Copies of this chain bind each other. A is one copy, B any other.
């Protein structure tokens, strides 16, 4: 399966990961755990004469991996009704990658890809996670990238996700169903 899963959780083997493995098993596809990489926060230098100061971190490597796959699955616990900080920091850096001469076609390349979202939260995520879904949709829209679908799971304590049968089923179908 030509899919890369970008895991935004800061905790190993959490509910979000468990739900995500229903869509893309651990031994299939490429799995990136953002917590294992160094990504520095963006400094907005879009309007400076010299542009962005190159960052000495793993961002370029991760951007390369993204571009090598057709399907991007973003997997994040819901922290404060949005994606995790590490995932936000990662996505913020796309603004820099888009202006990096090493990635001259980043925007055009993303246009050809399909993105999915899996998110898990503990506080009424089926409702309070909707702004996160809309945010992802706007991100996809920006790149004219297909937003293939999303699954929101409900869990709080470790292991609880196994009780959300609807989410587990939906995740297992996520990459199989036609887009909606």
Residues from chain B with Cβ under 8 Å of A147 in the complex: 127
Instruction: Report A50 CB to chain B, min CB distance, Å.
Output: 14
Instruction: Verify if A75 is at the interface (C-beta below 8 Å from B).
Output: no
Q: Which residues of chain A from 77 to 97 have any CB-CB distance to chain B below 8 Å in the complex?
A: 77, 79-86, 88-89, 91-92, 94-95
The residue that A178 contacts in the complex, of B10, B125, B163, with Cβ under 8 A, is B163
Residues from chain B with Cβ under 8 Å of A88 in the complex: 79-80, 82-83, 85, 88-89
Number of A interface residues, CB 8 Å?
59
Known: A10-B42, A166-B170, A170-B166. A135 touches B180 (CB 8 A): no
Closest chain B residue, CB of each to CB of A178: B163
Contact present for A126 and B149 (CB under 8 Å): yes
Contact present for B126 and A150 (CB under 8 Å): yes
5 contacting pairs across A/B (C-beta < 8 A): A11-B43, A14-B44, A80-B88, A80-B92, A166-B170
Other contacts beyond A41-B85, A132-B135: 11, CB < 8 A: A11-B43, A11-B44, A79-B88, A80-B139, A85-B85, A125-B180, A130-B133, A164-B177, A165-B173, A166-B169, A166-B173
